[in-house]
Every structure is written in structure tokens, then in C-alpha cells.
Amino acid sequence: MPDRAIQVTTNSPVNHVGMAVVIEDLPPLMWHAELGRSLPDMWSGTHQRGVQLHDMRDAVCVWAARYGQRAWLRQLEPSAGREMEDAVLRTIARLDGTPFPSTARLAGRWLRGRLPSLRREARDGTQDGVRDSVLDGVRDGVRDGALETAYCAEVVAVTYEAMGLLPAGRRPNWYDPGRFWSGDNLVLGEGRRLGGEIAVDVPGGQAP
């Protein structure tokens, strides 16, 4: 399963992360990326793979019943203001429908996010045995600030950055799902923090 592949290739303690979008009179929504397309995307109105905006209840039920996953919620404290909410909606408009990377590319994306100097060192001739032409053929998945392909942690990270919660300039593929687990102590800006994990109870584990 793709979520298990993420956990293995990134050495993360959790295998998926999404973001709750709760704005005014809208139903609670889940902003995340996955390979499945069983649920309608609430932004486009279609069934699609990749970056998606789902009804939160339906998404949690599918992950619990179909995939056998457990879910936890971490609340943003204090809650987001209007400017942050607007930033979330702009990010959804920009990234919704972005494709999910193949399983084989997950480890490479994660590694490149943690070795930002690899390309520069190779071009300077300081990395033995690595040719410029090889590195030039490697796509980071980030171009002009938009993700060409994305997985769940990158979607949350880019959205948090747009909200001012994470520093600009860090590669989105520096993040993995475990970065958003309480054990990682991710530092947020704007005086915000994520609370501890709250277990989500799914009675009967019934998928919609």
C-alpha cells in the first residue's frame, strides 16, 4: 500500500498526514494526497488521484474500514484567523489535482529534500563519481513554487508555509508524515502550536 511505502521509505513513525479544513459554514474537510479515488473531490467535483479535498468524515471512515488505519487529530492552537483561512483556500485552488508520485520515487524525493547541496557539490566537482548530466535528469518535484507531484506531507507543508506557519525556502520534500507527529516537536510560526494527539473513534469502521 502507498501509505506503508511512505512509512518504510521515509522511516516515519506514521504513514499518512492530512490537514483538517474547517471554515465557517463549510462541512469539515480533509486536505491530503493519496492514490485512491473512491471519494469525490469537494473542490473539483470529480473522482481523482493525488491531491484531494474530501469530506472529513467520509475520508476517515474509508481509511479506517478499507485500509484498516487508525486516526489521530492534532488541533492548531490558537486556531487560524481569516488571513490563514484565505491562504489555505488559495493553496487548495493551486494544488488540487496535483498527481501523486510513484512509490519508487518517494525515497528519492525524501532524500533529496535532506541533501539540498548534492546538486551544487556535483556541479562543483566535489562529489566523486556523480555526473552533472545524471543530476540534471533528476526532478525535485518542485518548480516555480508549485509541486509537479506531491505526497501527503508535502501538501500539508506547502499549505502551512502559505499560512505563515512554516519558514519559506525549505524544500517541501524535506517533510515526511512523522514531522507532524508530536514526538518530532515541529516548531510553528505566528505564535501557533499543534496540540497533542486526540484519538479519533470510528464506530463500526463503516466506509461511506
Q: Angle at the Cα of 72 (from 6 to 49), degrees rounded to 5?
A: 45
The model's pLDDT over 145-199, given as tens digits with 9 standing for 90+, comes to 456 677 888 999 999 999 999 998 888 778 888 889 888 889 999 999 999 999 9
pLDDT bucket at 103, cuts 50 / 70 / 90: low
**Single-letter amino acid code for the residue at 71:** A
Long-range CB contact pairs, 20-23, < 8 A, 24+: 20/56, 20/73, 21/53, 21/88, 21/92, 23/85, 23/88, 23/89
pTM of the shown model: 0.76
Q: In whole angstroms, what separates CA 87 from the centre of its chain?
A: 16
Query: Which domains, ranges and CATH numbers included, belong to the chain?
Result: 2-205 (3.90.1720)
The residue with greater pLDDT, 64 or 111, is: 64
- Rounded to whole angstroms, the Cα distance separating 45 from 181 reads 31
